[in-house]
Structure formats: C-alpha cells, structure tokens
Amino acid sequence: MYLVITTCPLALTGDHETMSKLLEEHWWALEINYEVSALTRLMLNALLGPRVELSGELEGRLSVNPGELIDAFIFDMLSESLPALIVALGIMMPENGATMCMLLDDLTKEMACMYAISVAMNDNAAVVLLRGWLINKFLRLLLINRFLGVLFEKLGLLKVLGVDADALLNEFRGLVNGFDGKSLAQLIAPANSIAQLALMLYALINGNKELTKAHALMGALYYGKLLGRLFLEAYGACCDLGSEGFRRAIAKLFFYHV
C-alpha cells in the first residue's frame, strides 16, 4: 500500500523521476493485491500519459490489457453483464459468451445476459432498446434525487451542489444515443463503484472521452452522496488530462477506493 499512496501523488505533482525509481525498487509490493495493482496502473497511465515518455519496460509494466482488466475486476462486474463485457473487449467470441450466460443459475439473469451479448454484437434492435432503458433509469435516479432534495435538503446531492438535473439528463441522453454496442456493454457492466472507476479510467486511457463522461455521470447517481460528489466533480472537469482540475478529481476517486 505504501507504493500505491506514494507513486500516484508523485505522478500528480510531476516528480516522475522519484516515482519511476520507487516503482523499479518496490514493484513486488504492487503485485500483492491484483485489483489494487490494476487500478493503480490504470491511474498512473492516466496521470503520466500526457506528460512524460515512459521507458519501454516501465510502460509495458503499467499497461493494463483487456484480459488483465477482467481478471482484476471480474467479481466487481454484474454476472449477467460480464460475458457481454468480455465479448465487447475482444477477449471472447460471442458464442462462448452465450455459453457463459447459460451457466447462470437464474433464468432472468440468463435472458438478460443473452440480450447483453446481442448488444455487444451491435444488434441494432438490442442497442436501441438498451439505450432507452439506460436513459429511463438515469431519469428515475434524477427524479429520486430531486425528490430527496425537496424533502431533505442534505440528501439531495444535485441541489446541494447547484447542479441542473435537466442538463445532466440531456448530456447523458446525448452520450448514450451516440454509443455503439461495445461501449454500451462496458457501461452496463459495473456492479460497484470500483468497477465503475476502473472502466472509466480504461475508457479514458483509450481515448474514449464520451464513455468516460457517461461512467462518471452514472457514478454520480448510483453510489450515494460522497461518491456521487466525487464522480460529479470528475464529470464536470472531464476529460483533459493536462488539466490539474481533472487530474485531481480522478485522483480523489482513486484514493477513496484504495
């Protein structure tokens, strides 16, 4: 954990030389917890990418490929969405994903899983239906937040922060309506906030700013007031990695989870 809590602040402040030395000397410590290791490497990739040219060896160590992403966060993904995520990331063929779906011990989840596979394969009807479902779910969460804000001012995150709920809905709708099946499969996969952050950072590193924003918006409404505030801050500053505001916002999310 020492390596985790020292390297990211060094990357954030620009002391890349000290950070690289620590990584070289204590890399073994980062490999103790695979989930923390993957999240740390995702974070360092985001913070370092636009500012420093890493050595070939260090760049290779810090990279997180799709297989490593799944291995690290497999238990943080929804079981009915996991096969579609694996298909969307190019790790597995759709027919093998369908076989995974049939291994689920719940018929409702099995059907949802097969549907998600269709989305990941860019089946037009499935994609259109999922877009509508996501937008409606986001709207319901906004309405609940607004209702709480009216009844109990301290519980209404958007009211406390002075955020325009209609603007958020319009933003989310515009983002989701522009996503293909592969992006949608990534958006519906997280079962908790650490998976949401991991997939958000993965999208960010791979240049998908729209998907990064959508993950941040979902995180803002799904996980309570404190995390909601942190995800909303990341959304508001997204997605210029040269911006200190955005770098600090994603760093706050990272340190919350480690």
Average pLDDT over residues 124-141: 96
Q: Give tens-digit pLDDT for 36-57.
A: 889 988 998 888 865 555 555 6
Where is average pLDDT lowest: 53-57, 61-65, 124-128, 163-167?
53-57
Long-range contacts at 239-246 (CB < 8 A, ≥ 24 apart) = 239/204, 239/209, 239/212, 239/213, 241/46, 241/47, 241/49, 241/50, 241/51, 241/204, 242/50, 242/51
Q: Is the pLDDT of residue 13 over 70?
A: no
pLDDT of residue 203: 97
44 or 111: which leads in pLDDT = 111
Average pLDDT over residues 1-21: 64
Q: Give tens-digit pLDDT for 57-88.
A: 666 677 899 999 999 999 999 999 999 999 99
pTM: 0.89
Fill in the DSSP letter of residue 191: S
